[in-house]
Chains A and B, each alone.
Chain A
């Protein structure tokens, strides 16, 4: 398979194509232009599109995000990079108080189309303040979309959709996915807000995003060997949340496990469980969440591995909950 697309290349290509397609698109952030990004996700864009449209900024998250908002309501379609999602609290005002509310507060005079790209997630030994998942911080904000792709194809087609979207979008790139290779997308853009069934099964639905989708798929293979067929739903977007897709799946499986890489309390898994329960309580024989302990992400490899809801943890959780036979 010669022509596999790397996740970071998918990001770069989506930006490159949208910069070429629409002159209103601009891209800026810390170390993104001449250096090409600390995760090497944006090389060559500065050379291809020039410094008026692709530029490096000061280390000023308030200014980067607030300026993106101001530019968006004056006709540009800015894409910014907040290097690590852990820095998003500094960008939060521009996103939450300005961009996300603009469409409503202005009485629909204009939307604020910004895309905030940010690398997130644990597993890379980056420690507590370079490993977080910010979904729960933002999922409670009306007017803001949140996307987290799991494959290079989705990364490309969803980023293109995010840039074309008239609403502010938080586009989350799990750092453990940057080197993942996969097929190129079959469609130019993928609609934001549509989940995808990535493995069919009749016994249990596992809903997840980003790296957790891969863990869920691997866990499903192990469980299949024990006679339990899990259906894996890649949510792809956390707001809007594709509740109907999950309801359709549990209508078949009657059981739902939501896997979240983030603290259990107040996490997005709780929101999904609540919504599915409200809509399809009668279909549910069992529903539960697998998330992290309510603690910061530890640094030491054995501690971090144990902390995260990876493949083994998913398998163990299902076995314990559903009493699937232990051992081979």
Chain B
């Protein structure tokens, strides 16, 4: 279905970079609307436990995922809804998972922090800090042996102080594995500013291991995409691990119960000026000549899409504990 402008022009009439740009905008918007839906359903008691939202950080996952190919693999984090959606995980199945429904992407067994969708290249979202880094490192080992593919690990800046980070970067560098490490620096690990607990510069850490490293504006989807494209190409060409530090900010709390008192005065407002959706909208007009009405059309379309998704999720069945025939072990076939 094409997004229709009031005067009849549609997104499908765009072509080349403009059309692609609108598509990137749409994907970021899907993440934003998804997170808003999760937040509101959480407040209504339909999403349980805890959730970590990606609001403000959408350009990271969308920019990186856009350069990946079918055989590539991605490991995301507990803040992983954006990682999943950017890879093409069905928003309906993902929201159903948040609501613990049988139709969820993991049948309601995983929940917000542990989503796995191998069919969409997502080997997992990891609730343990650094788990994504080791999983992607191992995925890269498999991909190299299979002769095709790059693995990507997403993680926050707080994770650069974890053993997994140091061990795996060295491990990947020594083995020259095709892996891209994407550090999403949103400035806080939970409630602690990263500079309070981090010695030196984050970018210096991979650099000292000989890993090519680039720091990018994580609020600009094109900037992230460009850096990712170059990095993935180098990894694909056998040049070993690559590192991107994406400077970003989360506009919401770390998790469900976070009043955000640690933020510096005015900081949130300042970063909101650089909201990736706003940045994209401006750039679509200025650099690609896309009419604001086309973007409005995308907004309306995604809005309607989510109204329907939420309605279907709320109506989806819960798994039946009696029928659920979980098996402890996989039946061995080889």
Show the binding face of A for B, using Cβ within 8 Å: 22, 26, 52-53, 55, 57-58, 60-76, 78, 93-94, 97-98, 101-111, 142-143, 145, 164-167, 240
- Interface size of B by Cβ–Cβ distance < 8 Å? 50
Give every chain B residue within 8 A of A75 (Cβ-Cβ): 142, 146
Q: What 0/1 pattern do residues 150 to 168 of B give for CB contact below 8 A with A?
A: 0100000000000110011
**Does chain A have a CB within 8 A of B136?**
yes
Q: List 26 A-B contacts (CB under 8 A).
A: A58-B174, A60-B170, A60-B171, A62-B167, A64-B171, A66-B133, A66-B137, A70-B136, A70-B139, A70-B141, A72-B142, A73-B118, A74-B142, A74-B143, A74-B151, A101-B114, A103-B327, A103-B330, A104-B328, A107-B116, A108-B330, A164-B332, A166-B330, A166-B332, A166-B334, A167-B330
Contact A166 B333 (CB under 8 A): yes
Give every chain A residue within 8 A of B327 (Cβ-Cβ): 103, 108
Give every chain A residue within 8 A of B83 (Cβ-Cβ): none
Contact A63 B168 (CB under 8 A): yes
Contact A71 B142 (CB under 8 A): yes
Contact B330 A111 (CB under 8 A): yes
Which among B126, B130, B138, B164 has the highest number of chain A CB atoms within 10 Å?
B138
Contact A62 B326 (CB under 8 A): no
Give every chain B residue within 8 A of A93 (Cβ-Cβ): 128, 131
Contact B170 A70 (CB under 8 A): no
Give every chain B residue within 8 A of A167 (Cβ-Cβ): 329-330, 332
Q: Give complex CA distance A28, B124 in Å.
A: 23
Nearest chain A CB to B206 CB, angstrom units:
15
Q: Which residue of A lies closest to B174 (CB)?
A: A58
Q: What 0/1 pattern do residues 56 to 88 of B give for CB contact below 8 A with A?
A: 000000000000000001010000000000000
Q: Give complex CA distance A52, B143 in Å.
A: 12
How many residue pairs link A and B with beta carbons under 8 A? The number is 153
* Of B18-26, B105-113, B216-224, B251-259, the one with at least 4 CB within 8 A of chain A: B105-113
Partner of B110, one of A26, A64, A105: A105
Contact A57 B134 (CB under 8 A): no
Nearest chain B CB to A162 CB, angstrom units:
10
A62-B134 CB under 8 A given contacts A71-B139, A76-B141, A97-B128: yes
Q: Give complex CA distance A25, B256 in Å.
A: 43
**Does chain A have a CB within 8 A of B145?**
yes
Q: Give complex CA distance A144, B133 in Å.
A: 22
Partner of A103, one of B107, B151, B163, B329: B329
Which among B116, B118, B119, B327 has the highest number of chain A CB atoms within 10 Å?
B116
Contact B334 A66 (CB under 8 A): no
Contact B139 A74 (CB under 8 A): yes
Show the binding face of B for A, using Cβ within 8 Å: 73, 75, 105-107, 109-110, 114, 116-119, 123-124, 126-128, 130-131, 133-143, 145-146, 151, 163-164, 167-168, 170-171, 174-175, 326-334
Partner of A74, one of B109, B130, B138: B138
Judged by DSSP, the binding face of A is: mixed
Contact A66 B118 (CB under 8 A): no
Nearest chain A CB to B227 CB, angstrom units:
23
Give every chain A residue within 8 A of B107 (Cβ-Cβ): 107
Q: List the 4 closest A-B pairs by CB distance, nearest first.
A: A66-B134, A70-B138, A111-B330, A67-B138
Give every chain A residue within 8 A of B171 (Cβ-Cβ): 57-58, 60, 63-64, 67
Contact A63 B326 (CB under 8 A): no
Contact A106 B118 (CB under 8 A): yes
Contact A98 B167 (CB under 8 A): no
Partner of B145, one of A52, A143, A164, A240: A52
- Having A67-B141, A73-B118, A109-B117, one finds 13 other A-B pairs with CB under 8 Å, namely A58-B170, A63-B167, A70-B139, A71-B141, A73-B138, A74-B142, A78-B141, A98-B134, A105-B109, A109-B119, A166-B331, A166-B333, A167-B332
Q: Give complex CA distance A106, B6 in Å.
A: 44
Partner of A26, one of B73, B137, B145, B329: B145
Q: Give complex CA distance A167, B143 in Å.
A: 20
Partner of B135, one of A55, A73, A145, A240: A73
A70-B123 CB under 8 A given contacts A26-B141, A76-B142: yes
